[in-house]
Chains A and B, each alone.
Chain A
Amino acid sequence: MGMKLFKEPELNSPTLVACWPGIGNIGIIAVDTLRRMVGAEELGEIEPWEFFYPRKVLIESGELKDLVFPVNKFYFKKAEGKDLLFFLGEEQPTDRGGIYAEGTKAYRMANLVLEVALKFGCSKVYTSGAAVAPIHHTARSRVWAVPNSENLIEEIRSYENTVLMSDIEGRGGQGNITGLNGLLLGVARKRGVAAICLMGEIPIYLHGFPISYPKGSQSVLEVLGAALGITVDLHEINALVEQSEREIESVYARLPSEIREQLDRLKYVTHAKPAEPGPITEEDKKRILQEIDKLFKKEPGVE
């Protein structure tokens, strides 16, 4: 299984920030924004052909010039006392063709990413993804944080706008993190490496649609900045958030008023633990999703 390193820099106990695409592209937008913000350089890549089916073939004048595979790259940034490693995957490898990583290939990739990080002396790992929550899109997304060991809980409690699974109503500290953003936590735990997954909230009525949700990424980015001791410039992500809000609002305005009224009830969710059932029933949820689905199908330009 191939791994190609372009450079072999001397890094001082770097922190790895790794991410694969998932719901609303929340993690990947946050991590990629941070990577570009700190000016991380390319370090290497995983040879993709054992993990992925090619995305594209280029044939010029009858000759096969190239096959394009999903890119899986490492980056690094040397900085005073806080060296960083980044890993960004364009797709999650699966054994059975789903969207989220599972099976042998996913496990192999998680191990490969960690092996490279450990080769450079990595001592801590952050991954990022999305948390589907009963919130309104006008609300600030919180960040759900899951550590792979108990002694990271104190660190998580120190972050603003961040909750543990046990803080979330009805979960009792339980949950699942689908795909590699979760699997890497488990593999790191197996090898005794501290790891935390940061998940930005996405409204329950948007998570199934082919749109990015940079508002969730914005919250993750803020927490990542705090965790890594980096002052984060939010200009770029703020612009993305504004654009996305405009697009969501335009879809929202075209929803039947009855559906909109139901969704508006989510504006009053305060994240306090309600004694009564949530503001939207399962039946409501189904109908709302069907209505939004209709709108997205009518509007192929929305991505």
Chain B
Amino acid sequence: MRDSGCFKVFTKPGLTTSTLLVAWNQDVGKVGTKVADYLNRKLGCQEFAEIEPLGFFPLSGVSVEDDIAQFPESKFYYSQEKALVVFKSDIPPSEWYRFLRSILDIAEHYCAVEELYIVGGMVSPGAHTTPRALLSVTNSPQIKEMLGQYGLVTNMHYETPDGQRPTLSSFLLWVAKKRGISGASLWVPVPFYLTGVEDPRAWKKVIQFFDTRLALGLDLTDLDDEIARQSAKIAQMRSKLPELDSYISRLESNLSLTAEESEKLAKEVEEFLKKTY
């Protein structure tokens, strides 16, 4: 085991080239985590390294979520066969640059990473039945051109509004650019009323892209089943609760809801889906 102080490497993957996928646990609709978990499971990825929490996370105790004590994790997994490296992590509250540099140090040094993708969800005002686009922000014209060939949206304009800060994904993309690693952050819209639960349509959109791009040969029928199950539950809810049905119908017709209506819809959908899972 190699220990460089802030990270531990348990096994050297011995990859001569690879693609790195980064997912943050604190993500809209947990899209990144779900995608990372799905690929790790389906491809049988092995854990091979981790960044130590000391120095990046406060470690002043543990938080409790859904009855379970949580602890920050920043772990690397790899699939030798598919030349894929997956990094799944909590977002550190400080020392961001050192943390991002550590990710790329491991990825470059032990896995010869040549391409980077950071996966995330973005809150959407649309309905869950609206077809999903996959939006990208790239750090080089070459990768932008390549992603365009996969049907991704590659023409986004954005400037951080006053009072807000960029995402850690943008920071990582920028650090990667400084090191000459091509990369993109991928953003899939998640309907606002599904951000507190799950949105398998969003995961599928991202996973489909990786399946094609990296020739993973995945069988996605389990995802289709998941989507069908959720659709059936929401349809059941719509038939039982006509008011919520009318809200979703309006969203499907590109009409907006008031703040109170949106809040009610999100609350009731979340309660309904959690109850029936």
Q: Report if A62-B94 is in contact (Cβ < 8 Å); known contacts: A54-B170, A56-B159.
A: no
Chain A contacts for B155, CB-based, 8 A: 61-62
Secondary structure dominating the interface of B: mixed
Query: How far apart sit A54 and B175, CA to CA, in the bound complex (Å)?
Result: 12
Whole-angstrom CA separation of A63 from B140 in the bound complex: 7
Once the chains bind, are A62 and B160 in contact (CB under 8 Å)?
no
The answer to whether B171 touches A63, judged by C-beta atoms less than 8 angstroms apart, is no
Given A63-B144, A64-B170, A67-B171, A56:B137 Cβ within 8 A? no
- Do A64 and B137 have beta carbons less than 8 Å apart? yes
Per a CB cutoff under 8 Å, which of B93, B136, B160, B177 touches A56? B160
B98 touches A59 (CB 8 A): no
Question: Which of A53, A58, A61 sits near B96, CB closer than 8 Å?
Answer: A53
CA A50 to CA B175, docked complex, whole Å: 11
20 A-B contact pairs sorted by A residue (CB < 8 Å): A50-B98, A54-B174, A55-B160, A56-B165, A56-B166, A57-B174, A58-B158, A59-B156, A59-B157, A61-B154, A61-B156, A61-B157, A62-B136, A62-B138, A63-B144, A64-B170, A64-B177, A67-B170, A67-B171, A96-B58
Q: Is A60 an interface residue (CB 8 A)?
A: yes
Contact B171 A64 (CB under 8 A): no
Is B97 interfacial (CB 8 A cutoff)?
yes
Measured between beta carbons, the chain A residues less than 8 angstroms from B97 are 49-50
Give the residues from 114 to 136 in chain A that come closer than 8 angstroms, CB to CB, to chain B.
none
A55 partner residues in chain B, CB cutoff 8 A: 160, 165-166
Most buried by A among B170, B173, B177: B170
Q: Is B153's beta carbon under 8 Å from chain A? A: yes
| A interface secondary structure, majority | mixed
- A192 in the interface, Cβ–Cβ < 8 Å? no
Candidates A49, A53, A61, A64; contact of B139 at CB < 8 Å: A64
Residues of B within 8 A of A59 (CB): 137, 156-159, 170
Further 16 A-B residue pairs, CB within 8 A, beyond A59-B137, A64-B177: A55-B165, A56-B166, A57-B160, A57-B174, A59-B158, A59-B159, A59-B170, A60-B157, A61-B155, A61-B156, A62-B138, A62-B155, A63-B140, A64-B138, A95-B95, A97-B93
| B141 CB within 8 Å of chain A | yes
A-B CB contacts (within 8 Å), total count = 71
Chain B's closest residue to A95 (CB) is B94
Identify the B interface with A (CB < 8 A): 58, 93-98, 136-141, 144, 153-160, 165-167, 170-171, 173-175, 177
Measured CB to CB, the nearest residue on chain A to B174 is: A67
In the bound complex, CA of A249 to CA of B160 (Å): 34
Chain A: minimal CB distance from B170 (Å): 4
Q: Which of A79-101 contact B (CB under 8 A)?
A: 95-97
Instruction: Give bound CA distance, A57 to B140, whole Å.
Output: 15
Q: How far is the CA of A56 from the CA of B97 in the complex (A)?
A: 15
Do A54 and B94 touch across chains, with their CB atoms under 8 A apart?
A: no
Chain B residues with Cβ below 8 Å from A57 are 158-160, 166-167, 170, 174
CA distance A57 to B174 in the complex (A): 9
B157 near A64: Cβ-Cβ < 8 Å: no
Q: Are A67 and B93 in contact (CB under 8 A)?
A: no
* B160 close to A96 (CB less than 8 A): no
Across-interface contacts of B94 in A (CB, < 8 A): 95-97
Indicate the member of A53, A58, A59 with the most B CB atoms within 10 Å: A59
Instruction: Specify which chain A residues have a CB less than 8 angstroms from the CB of B141 in the assembled complex.
Output: 63
Of A53, A54, A63, A95, the contact of B137 (CB 8 Å cutoff): A63
Q: Are A62 and B156 in contact (CB under 8 A)?
A: yes
For B58, the chain A residues whose CB sits under 8 A away are 96
- The reply to whether B138 and A63 form a contact with Cβ atoms under 8 Å apart is yes
Residues 25-61 of A, flagged 1 when their CB comes within 8 A of B and 0 if not, give: 0000000000000000000000001100111111111
User: Contacts A59-B157, A97-B93 given: A64-B98 contact, CB under 8 Å?
Assistant: no
Q: Which 6 A-B pairs have the closest CB atoms?
A: A57-B166, A62-B154, A59-B158, A56-B160, A57-B170, A67-B174
Chain B's closest residue to A49 (CB) is B97
In Å, the complex CA distance between A103 and B248 comes to: 50
Smallest Cβ-Cβ distance to B58: which chain A residue: A96
Q: Is the CB of B139 within 8 A of A63?
A: yes
Q: Is A62 in contact with B144, judged by CB distance below 8 angstroms?
A: yes
Q: How far is the CA of A61 from the CA of B159 in the complex (A)?
A: 11
Contacts of A53 in B (CB 8 A): 96, 165, 171
Please give me the residue from chain B that is nearest to A67 by CB atom: B174
Which chain A residues lie closer than 8 Å to B98 at the CB level?
50
Alpha-carbon gap, A56 to B158, bound state (A) = 10
Chain B proximity mask over A266-278: 1 for CB below 8 Å, otherwise 0: 0000000000000
Across the interface, name the chain A residue whose C-beta is closest to B162. Answer: A56
Asked whether A58 lies within 8 Å of B159 as measured between CB atoms, the reply is: yes
Interchain CA distance A54-B168 in the complex, whole Å? 9
Q: How far is the CA of A53 from the CA of B91 in the complex (A)?
A: 13
By a CB distance below 8 angstroms, the chain A residues around B171 are 53-54, 67
